[in-house]
Amino acid sequence: MTERSELYPAIEPHRSGMLPIDAIHTLYWEESGNPQGVPVLFLHGGPGAGASPKHRQFFDPAYYRIIIFDQRGAGRSTPLGELRDNSTQHLIADIEYLRELLGVERWLVFGGSWGSTLALAYGEAHPERCLGFVLRGIFLCRLWEIDWFMRGMRQFFPEAWQRFAGYLPEAERDNLLGHFHTRLNDPDPAVHMPAAKVWSVYEGECATLQPDPAVQANYGADGVALGVGRIEAHYFVNRIFLPENDLLANVGKIAHLPMITIQGRYDVLCPPVSAWELHQAWPGSSLEIVPDAGHSAWEPGITRGLVRACERMKTLLA
């Protein structure tokens, strides 16, 4: 038999809802696929990008019980772009709350970009609740990786970076993160929305090996831009609420579990060295470097690799 590598057909959730988790935040969640299948948790990127219906299609709906939610302040969760009580520790607690609500004992954790970060943070906090990991575009949120996003990517996308940095007055360009953060937190939409769009569009322009108008349009949409721009800056300023190099330092807590990473060779947002270092620290893990892809999950080689990884997990989890 030939191993499947194409997305599964579009499906609709058979259960979904809005879950109030505190006095501020309400999370969107959904469940699709086989209610008796192997549970898989999808963690979207950003932070702040939200999930889409297409994300269900990575998984065999006859085999997997597919659980997706939008993280605090992102996507269909409310309030959009909310930063109060929004930290890595809050997101980990939300995942556990959702797991208990849905009666899941253990699940496969799937995440790309920031989703890979959160998957590792959750796994290291609750290894006993994880079956394994399928990851993409590894982002370990170390200081150099944040600085690379803010300044280093101009080495490959100088025109996109110039539009990003050039949005700020010249006197403020010595501290891009700090001054973008100030604007993104301004209560006036006339101030925070243009800054959010500049930030998000910059990310979208750097996300693919070849220009992809659909990806760029998605990053430029108001809802995506506000979540991505505001929440990413919030997490970057706070160094993702974890000590430096914490995720790599604690990988031993989950290194007994199966892990497959799909990484674009020309991923400028999340350079491949982080995926390589994670792979080296995780004996028995699998790393596939896609030779003709950048960062986006929707680049053909990345999409096919992620579907294959979920198919291989059927054997690893048996």
For residue 22, how many other CB atoms are within 10 A of its CB?
12
Contact 267, 284 (CB under 8 A): no
Angle between helices 143-150 and 176-184 (to 10 degrees): 80
Residues 6+ apart with CB under 8 A from 116: 43, 135, 136, 137, 138, 139, 261
By CB atoms closer than 10 A (0-12, 13-18, 19+), residue 2 is: exposed
Contact 41, 110 (CB under 8 A): yes
Helix (H) / strand (E) containing 278: helix 272-281
Six token digits for residue 101: 């609500």
Backbone angles phi, psi at 130, to 5 degrees: -110, 140
Nearest Cα neighbor of 139 from 121, 160, 166, 162 is 121
Mind telling me the catalytic residues?
A: 113, 267, 295
DSSP character string of 192-211 = HHHHHHHHHHHHHHTS-SS-
Contact 7, 61 (CB under 8 A): no
